[in-house]
Chain A
Amino acid sequence: MSKLFVKHKIYKILLFVFLSLYALSILYPLLLMFLTSLKTTREIFTNPFGLPKSFNLTSYIKLLTISHYLKYFKNSLIVSFISLAVVMVTSSTASYILAKYNVKGRNFLYLFFVAGLIIPIRLGTISIMRMMIGMHINNNLLSVIILSTAVGIPFGVFILTDFIKMIPEELSNAARIDGCSEPGIFRIVIIPLLKPALAAVAIVNFIPVWNDFWFPLVLLKDDAVRTVPLATALLFGQYSTNYGLVFAVLSMASIPVIIVYLVFSKQFIKGLSSGALKG
């Protein structure tokens, strides 16, 4: 018995050590990025592995003075918030119909939306360029907002339809007896219950929208409309020899997503896991 116990203990310790090494391989490059951004140029080369002697914010200050970084940050926030808001509104109303009404073509419509989960929008870029130029919104944040919304809708419908299906019909029926209209049921009964699912949709969609580089790269030209990823690429190219600055640029682009993920990782993992199991 005790021998088996010891063997079991050793097995667990081995697994723990292995996982710790894996965690280190993830955390070390990220820590290196943050720590290096706080070092002086000299320290970066003389002491690449150690902790910075003092928290040196020179690189961050320089970043804010040589570029309109706050503007890029604001642009990224505008794109993320507007597109997420539109995704949440449009996909929750659509999901309500798909989940609660036995209308003709319902299954087809659901599959039609969900197919978007595996369609890479990039492959339509040439046609998108033509459309945006035609509408005179290339070089305008609106173009990226619209595209982020289109990409977000399939995931929204996928998660919300499932969630609304699980809301008991008795709740809606009770409201019906009280004389509530069908759209009224959506507003009064469904929306208040939808909050956790909406949070999952918002969080899972935020990350690709914030990180999107492709459409800003091909659509946005002026400095005034740059988003964070586009600015990251241009600053990296321009200042590639200034290590402290370049690491500050990378850190600034990563901090928002890391914070959002660490704060909401529970909803995040839940939202994505349900996708894995349903396929």
Chain B
Amino acid sequence: MTSKRRNGWKPFMVFFILPAALIYTFFLLLPIVDSLRLSFYSGSGFIPTEFVGFENYKKLFTEFPFKQRMLNAFTNNIEFFIIVTIVQNIFGFFIAFLVTRKIMGNNFFRKISFLPTTLSVLVVGFLFKLILNPAWGIFDKMLTAVGLSGIIHPWLGDPVTALPALAIVVSWQFMGESVLFYTAGIDAIPEETLEAARIDGANPLQELWYVIIPAIMPIIGIVTILIFIGDFTQFDIVYAMSTTQANPGFATDLFGSLFYRATFSTPVRGGWGMGMGAAVSSLMFILVFSAVMVWLYFFKMKGDGNE
């Protein structure tokens, strides 16, 4: 492996690392830290004017309409995350289990499953907005064709069904990611382990329960934390399917769309100014950071032989 002799930094090494380190630090890490700092200021048009301490957070957690909008985005985001997590993990694992069996065309299925994930969320959101649009009625016609005309519904117009509809579309799109990760996990199980289970007389179901599921536990963690990070910064799907106003009546508002409105909209359309925008993004950062810590605690610190 690596030679142990060279220990000191030589000028060429610094020169080799510096470009990547500088771009990454200045344009990814520092802006996040700096946004945390800006959440303690008030100001307009991205110019901080006055240090206000925790005033922005106090407003965000106690005053109308900030508190209402924030709590609404929070509960919506939790609901959204739960739906996506359940659908993507259960279906994703199930499909990965199937494509790793020796079935005709399993390579084709593997390839196809990832196709929607490569598209932009924006395009997928617009596409399903059109499919669900009652004026064109393609989805309603499909329901009628299979005898389900009774459940025809203004899916995106009803506050009860709008958010789950968005969550299902996102799950549909990113299912491929779960399939890919679970497939990689199942493929990595040594053939001898499966062979040994079969010799011991395990049927496919026992094989699944006693060999495959324990082996892919870490993947469940990775898939779930990636979903969490994606969903708590999700914006594009709300923009595409429900506009930045998160129609109907903020029923589909997530932290991403709240952050966008707070920071970039005019006061009439829900703009709160720079400091409040920074407070919202800082709250999002705290949520994502906490989730990552929980994930590291449960899936990484237990020393499961993962380096």
A103 to B235 CA separation, bound complex (whole angstroms): 41
Question: Interface extent on B, as a size class?
Answer: 35 or more
A122 engages B114 (CB within 8 Å): no
A125 to B118 CA separation, bound complex (whole angstroms): 24
- B6 partner residues in chain A, CB cutoff 8 A: 101-103
Instruction: Say which residue of B2, B20, B122 sits within 8 Å of A232 (CB atoms).
Output: B122
A37-55 interface with B by 8 A CB criterion: 44-45, 48-49
- A186 partner residues in chain B, CB cutoff 8 A: 16
A151 to B2 CA separation, bound complex (whole angstroms): 28
Instruction: Say which residue of B16, B31, B47, B115 sits within 8 Å of A258 (CB atoms).
Output: B115
Contact A126/B35 with A120-B233, A165-B1, A276-B219 known, Cβ cut-off 8 Å: yes
Minimum Cβ distance to chain B for residue A156 (Å): 8
Contact A127/B38 with A207-B118, A236-B126 known, Cβ cut-off 8 Å: yes
- A232 partner residues in chain B, CB cutoff 8 A: 120, 122-123, 126
User: Interface residues of A: mostly helix, strand, loop or mixed?
Assistant: helix
Q: Does B247 contact A (CB under 8 A)?
A: no
B23 engages A233 (CB within 8 Å): no
Contact A94/B35 with A26-B112, A32-B138, A254-B119 known, Cβ cut-off 8 Å: no
Minimum Cβ distance to chain A for residue B202 (Å): 15
B58-103 interface with A by 8 A CB criterion: 95, 98-99, 101, 103
- A86 partner residues in chain B, CB cutoff 8 A: 23
Q: Does B268 contact A (CB under 8 A)?
A: no
Minimum Cβ distance to chain B for residue A253 (Å): 5
Instruction: Say which residue of B172, B185, B260 sits within 8 Å of A277 (CB atoms).
Output: B185
A120 to B299 CA separation, bound complex (whole angstroms): 21
- Map CB proximity to B onto A85-109 as digits: 1 under 8 Å, 0 otherwise: 0100111011011111111100001
- Map CB proximity to B onto A159-189 as digits: 1 under 8 Å, 0 otherwise: 0000001000100000000000011001000
- Total A-B Cβ pairs within 8 A: 274
User: Interface residues of B: mostly helix, strand, loop or mixed?
Assistant: helix
- A18 partner residues in chain B, CB cutoff 8 A: 98
Q: Does A147 contact B (CB under 8 A)?
A: yes
- A12 partner residues in chain B, CB cutoff 8 A: 101, 103-104
Minimum Cβ distance to chain B for residue A142 (Å): 12
Q: Does A191 contact B (CB under 8 A)?
A: no
Q: Does B141 contact A (CB under 8 A)?
A: yes
- Map CB proximity to B onto A115-149 as digits: 1 under 8 Å, 0 otherwise: 01011111111111111010000000000001101
B2 engages A99 (CB within 8 Å): yes
A12 to B106 CA separation, bound complex (whole angstroms): 12
B30 engages A122 (CB within 8 Å): no
Find the A residue at minimum CB distance from B9: A103
Minimum Cβ distance to chain B for residue A194 (Å): 14
A residues whose Cβ falls under 8 Å from a Cβ of B:
11-12, 15-16, 18-19, 22-23, 25-27, 29-30, 32-33, 44-45, 48-49, 86, 89-91, 93-94, 96-104, 109, 112-113, 116, 118-131, 133, 146-147, 149-151, 153-154, 156-157, 165, 169, 182-183, 186, 207, 210-211, 213-214, 218, 229, 232-233, 236, 243, 246-247, 250, 253-254, 257-258, 260-262, 265, 268-269, 272-274, 276-277, 279
Q: Top 7 closest A-B pairs, CB basis? A: A124-B31, A211-B120, A273-B184, A127-B34, A150-B27, A127-B31, A90-B20
**What would 15 more interface pairs be, CB under 8 Å, given A127-B31, A253-B123, A273-B184?**
A15-B103, A19-B103, A22-B109, A26-B113, A32-B131, A44-B136, A48-B141, A104-B9, A123-B281, A124-B30, A127-B34, A128-B31, A207-B118, A258-B119, A269-B180
